[in-house]
Structure formats: structure tokens, C-alpha cells
Structure 1
Amino acid sequence: MDVGAEEWVLVVRKDGKPFDPQKFGNTHSDRGRLVKKLAKLPNLTVCLEATGVYHFDLAIALHDAGVALMVVNPKASHNFAKVLMKNSKTDAVDANNLAEYAARMDFVPWTRPSGDKIALRSFDRRTCAPEGIDALTRQKAAAKNHLHALSTTSETPKAVLKDARLAISQLEKRIVRLSAEAMALIGQTPGLTRVFTLLTGIKGIAETSAIALMGELLLLPPGLSHREWVKLAGLDPKAFDSGKSVHKKARVSKAGNRHIRSALYMPALSAKQHDPHVKAYFEHLPANGKLPLQAVCAVMRKLLHAIHGMLKNDKPFDNSRFYVIPAVMIPP
């Protein structure tokens, strides 16, 4: 099924042959009609892409109706279409490619997150609009940079400076309000409260970062390893070697959830400043040939490893296990 902002295109394949595509509007009534139709089909597997926010309600409805559902990374389906040598790209072609993907690839069931975890992610992302805490924080940073640029010249009218400061103030108020609502939700659930306490025990992870990380990490399928977390976050190294002549430097793949990477970036910068063990780990990387940005990505990846272990074992952050400071680096 190809999922779009305004409509869904359904292609049903049976015995390797596709039926004509069917279209459904991206509305509550059509979603109910579509789910009811699919729930009646025997031995059915539904495959759709993780297309931002548009697939989410449909995925929940299909899952709750007992339909076997797999939600694939758009990059995986895109590369699969390349393998099939498809020259055209339409919604019907994309839907047929996904049906063939479901027929050929191993079935990986989609895991439905609980309601409180979905709500928590909505505070950070705002499921229906790109104005959650994360987006508002980015807008505030951009507004501050804009104000700084305006303030560098005496030619900027006072009214313009006043308006720029007002915009920053309004963004700060919205962030505070959404954060308070998110904290109220966390306080209502002992499990979420415990996770929040564990995360904020890491130097560099404050309230906003903890909310963002919880909204993303708690929705990952249960039972994944720390390496799978890293891969889903797009922080896994991507090597590029071919023969004897092509040897490019490894770089992060970015073939994963950008929201996890965004939520880890500022905590990594802060932790490398304020936690001696994280700082020592960061500082030893450039000495081994890593660029500063590569070192930050390595800290993000190692922080994600640590968070995985903390949540799995319900234990607070132990910075001494993050990196053992060599004796030569310890001040007398």
C-alpha cells in the first residue's frame, strides 16, 4: 500500500499477479472502510512505508484489526525498486513494488506502541504538525541567530528588533507549555517516570532532551540489541571500499530515524564538556585521526549504547564504564 498525504493506493497480489490498484482517501471514514475490507481477506500480509506521520494511524488501525502488518524503511523499498529495474514511479507502481517486497522478503511484524508512548512522542514531534518541542527548539535557535544578525548593525529599526525578541519569547512560552504537559504525562506513569530519571542521570541530558529521547526510543520494537538501536538511528558506520583503488573514509549511514540523532546531538555536546569520562573519550578520538564531527557522532553512538544498557537492566548511568580514563590523563 502506497501511503500519501491525501490518498492511499492499494494493490493486492495473489499467486504473484497483481489486481488493479484501488484508491482510498486519507480520511477517517475511508480508513475504516479500507481496514474492514482488508480484515476479511484470508492469509493477508500488508506492507507499507514509514511515510512520516501519514502511515501511523493506518498502521494502528490495521494492527488492532488483527491484520499482519510490516512497515518498511522507505530507503529499503526504494532500493528494492531499483533492483526490480522499475523505470516508472507512480503511486500504483510504488504500491505494487511494496506488495512484491512483502512477497519476497522475510516478514517482520510491526510492533504497536502503547498509547502513553505515542502521546509522549507527539509532544516532541507533534504528530499532526511539525511544531513539537524539537521543532520549536530549532525555531528558537534560528530566531536567536536572526536577532544576533539584526543587532550587529545600527541601521536595524527598533521595531524590528522588538518583533524578533517577541518571536523568541513566544517560542519559549510554547516550549515551556508543551514540556509541562509532557512532564505531567510522564508523572502519571511509573514506568515513564523511571525512564526519565535514568536518562536525566546522564550529564548533558536535561528535561527537553529526555522527553525527545523517550518519545523515540520507547517506540522502537522491544528486544532489539544495542547494535540494532544504532542502526535504526542511522549512526552505524558506512564503509566504502572497492578493489585496490577505492578506499573512502567510513561515515555514518544516516539511514535511520533522524529524530533520534537530533535528540542525541546536544546531549553529546554537553556531556563531552561536563562529564570527565565522556570528555576523555571524545578527546582521544582526534588523536586517532577522527575529525571533530566524527568524534561527536562517536559520542552519540556510545551514549545510545549506554542508554540501551540502562533501560534494559534498569540501572543508572555509570560514566566509569563509558570510558576508562588513562592514567596519563588523570590530573595529580
Structure 2
Amino acid sequence: MAMPIPLVKPIVGVDVAKDELVMYHAETDQLEIVPNNKTAINKWLKALSMQVDIAIEATNIYHLEFADLAHKAGCVIYMVGGYELSHYRKGVNVRAKTDALDARLLARYLKNEGQELHPWNPPSPLYRRLVSLFRRRAAVVQARVSLSQSWANEPLLKAAFKRQIGAMQRLETLVEKKIQDELKDAGLLGQLKRCMKVEGIGLLTGARLLTSFQRGDFKNADAFIAFLGLDLRISQSGRKQGRRCLTKRGDPEARRLLHNAAMSARRTERWKGFYEALLARGMSTTQAMVALSRKLARVVFALLQNQSEYLPERHLKASHAP
């Protein structure tokens, strides 16, 4: 990943909503509101006296057009996650939350923490299309499962409901086909097949990991694991060992698919011993599943990074740390 660069330009914090952008210029202590559309954004960028460093909170998809246009105009963009901003707000004792205050807070965060942040670069069009497809599929699956659970014991309109569920399942299939078509058009079906040779990794999990791999130049497997949100947050003070938990900074759909892959892999001859060894070390089933998910992601990363073929014995023994 890109190394942090010194911040030498004026800083602007931008709070993003669907219809408007609240800008805070740190050097002049000025706030302004700009409509969140291409024409208004380009007008704002052209009015800048010089290029600026911009901190934006990543919010769904409403920040993307501004980020793309500002990056194209030569501004350096820093994406700040909602989790980081929320905890920073508490840490600096900002008790209220408004768009204006968040814009100020973003500028403050970039000014104070900028040396530790990495500039944002736009993802490829392929990556964006694939992520969009995966998110839409996840939304359909979530809605279908929720409806199925709520209607499980409801005899009324049973036939109509069955048809509705069937339609949702067909939509899922269409999205999955579109994902395969995107990978085929990009010449990545061979890479997908390479991933799917790993026991437990099916088409969707392999496609999602392959999509994540397209996002950046990961220097090692640890960086890839962190991008997926499968790295651990450790709490330790003196002799006190706090509870370890996942950072969960990446796409939750990627982690969900990896969890499903681990559920399948733990029953295979290849991974059963690995999983049982984790339990024997005192891990709970949940911890063991996370460790196996992480291991599968590491193996897939190695295959994609090295353009190598899956050799079960070698990859099982390599990087024993879960």
C-alpha cells in the first residue's frame, strides 16, 4: 500500500450527505455548503486558489463522486472510516454531532493524524462494479432470509409467498451470473478457478476474495487480512490481557462469505485436523472459525500474489499462525 506522505497543503474537512456537502476550511475557519452533484462540485474545485488535502468520511456511496472529481483535480484525498471518526469524537470530547461539527472534526483529524494516514486512490471500474453487485446480492439474500423466517409459520398466502421467494432466488442467480460475466470479460476466470481449488472456497467466496485482491497493491498477507477486517484488535495493559476481537474494518460481506467457506472447509479431510487443533488449543468454536477463515484468506492471497497453483500440503504447513 502507499506510504503516508507529509501534509503541506491547506486542509478541508468534508461531511457528506446525499444532497449536500458541508466543507470546512481549516486555515480560514470557514464553512460552506455545496450541493452534492457534479456541476456544483466542479465549480467548487475550480474556485479553489490551490490544491488542498481533503478528509472525507466514507458514507455508503454518496462520497464517491466528490472523491473522484477532487482526486482528478489534483487534491489529496484521505478517507476516514465512521468507526475511527466516532472514537476520535469521543477522545477529543466533542459531545455534539452535526454536519458542521463533523466537517471540523474531519479537518482536525487529518491535521493531527495525517502522518499516519494513507492517501486514497480511486478503485478500478471493475472493482466498483463487482463490489456493487456483491452488495446488491447481499441485500437480496438478507431480505429473502428475513421474509422466510417471519413467514415460516404463516399459512395465509402460502402459494403467493412461495412464488415471491422463488423470484428473489432467481434474482440472486442473475446477480451471481453477472459477477461471473464481469470476471470473464476481465480475463479473471482462470484466477477464480485457482482460488476455488482451495477446499471450502466456492464460486462466490473466491470471486469476493479475487475482487478484494484487485483493490490494491498489498505488500503482504497481513495487509490483505487487515483490508478484509479479519485482523485482531489487542487490548493489553500491564499484566491484564483484554479481550481480543476483530477490527471488522473491511467489507462485512467478504467476511460472511469467508465464514461460510470455513464452515464448509472444517468438514473436509484437508482442514478438519487444522480446525480441531485450534479447538484443542482452547479456542472456542467461534474463534476457531475466525482463525480458519483467516487461514483460507491467506492461502488464497498467496495463490494470487505468486500466481502459483494450490499445493495442499505446502499451503497447510505454511504460515501456521492463524
- Give the TM bin, normalised by the shorter chain: 0.7 to 0.9
Look up the match of 2:33. 23
**Deviation per residue, 1:32-60 (Å, 9 max, x gap):** 333433xx432411111221222222222
CA 1:267–1:66: 2 relative to 1, 3 Å: same
Aligned partners of 1:120 and 1:227: how far apart in 2? Answer: 23
State which of 223, 229, 236 in structure 1 corresponds to 2:224. Answer: 229
Look up the match of 2:186. 189
3-state SS of 2:62 partner: coil
State which of 199, 202, 209 in structure 2 corresponds to 1:206. Answer: 202
CA 1:205–1:249: 2 relative to 1, 3 Å: same
Look up the match of 2:141. 137
Look up the match of 1:162. 159
- State the shift of 1:78 in Å: 2.5
Aligned 8 A contact 2:130 2:211 in 1: yes
- State the shift of 1:143 in Å: 4.0
TM-score, normalised relative to structure 1: 0.83
- State the shift of 1:263 in Å: 2.7
Look up the match of 2:176. 179
Amino acid corresponding to residue 206 of structure 2 in structure 1: A
Look up the match of 2:308. 315
Aligned partners of 2:53 and 2:26: how far apart in 1? Answer: 10
Matches within 5 A, 1:271-282: 271-274=265-268, 276-282=269-275
> Share of identical aligned residues, percent?
22
Amino acid corresponding to residue 253 of structure 1 in structure 2: T
Aligned 8 A contact 1:143 1:164 in 2: no
Aligned 8 A contact 1:46 1:69 in 2: yes
Look up the match of 2:286. 293
State which of 268, 285, 297 in structure 1 corresponds to 2:262. Answer: 268
Amino acid corresponding to residue 231 of structure 1 in structure 2: A
Look up the match of 1:7. 20
Cα root mean square deviation, aligned: 2.3
Aligned partners of 1:255 and 1:115: how far apart in 2? Answer: 22
Look up the match of 2:89. 81
Amino acid corresponding to residue 13 of structure 1 in structure 2: A
Q: Aligned pair count?
A: 303
Aligned partners of 1:95 and 1:4: how far apart in 2? Answer: 11
Aligned partners of 2:144 and 2:199: how far apart in 1? Answer: 23
3-state SS of 1:232 partner: helix
Look up the match of 1:240. 235
Aligned partners of 1:139 and 1:133: how far apart in 2? Answer: 10
Amino acid corresponding to residue 289 of structure 1 in structure 2: G
Look up the match of 2:54. 46
State which of 56, 77, 85 in structure 1 corresponds to 2:64. Answer: 56
Look up the match of 1:153. none
CA 1:174–1:71: 2 relative to 1, 3 Å: same
Aligned partners of 1:293 and 1:118: how far apart in 2? Answer: 31
CA 1:101–1:117: 2 relative to 1, 3 Å: same
3-state SS of 2:234 partner: strand
Aligned 8 A contact 1:46 1:70 in 2: yes
Aligned partners of 2:202 and 2:292: how far apart in 1? Answer: 17
Where relative contact order (Cα < 8 A, 6+ residues apart) is larger, the structure is: 2
Aligned partners of 1:142 and 1:209: how far apart in 2? Answer: 22
**Deviation per residue, 1:168-200 (Å, 9 max, x gap):** 20111101112222222211112x323322222
- State the shift of 1:267 in Å: 1.2
CA 1:255–1:114: 2 relative to 1, 3 Å: closer
- State the shift of 1:303 in Å: 1.4
Aligned 8 A contact 2:229 2:248 in 1: yes
Aligned 8 A contact 1:233 1:261 in 2: yes
TM-score, normalised relative to structure 2: 0.85
3-state SS of 1:222 partner: coil
Aligned 8 A contact 2:299 2:315 in 1: yes
CA 1:167–1:209: 2 relative to 1, 3 Å: farther
Aligned partners of 1:223 and 1:41: how far apart in 2? Answer: 35
Unaligned runs of 5+ in 2: 1-13
CA 1:321–1:140: 2 relative to 1, 3 Å: farther
Aligned partners of 2:199 and 2:147: how far apart in 1? Answer: 27
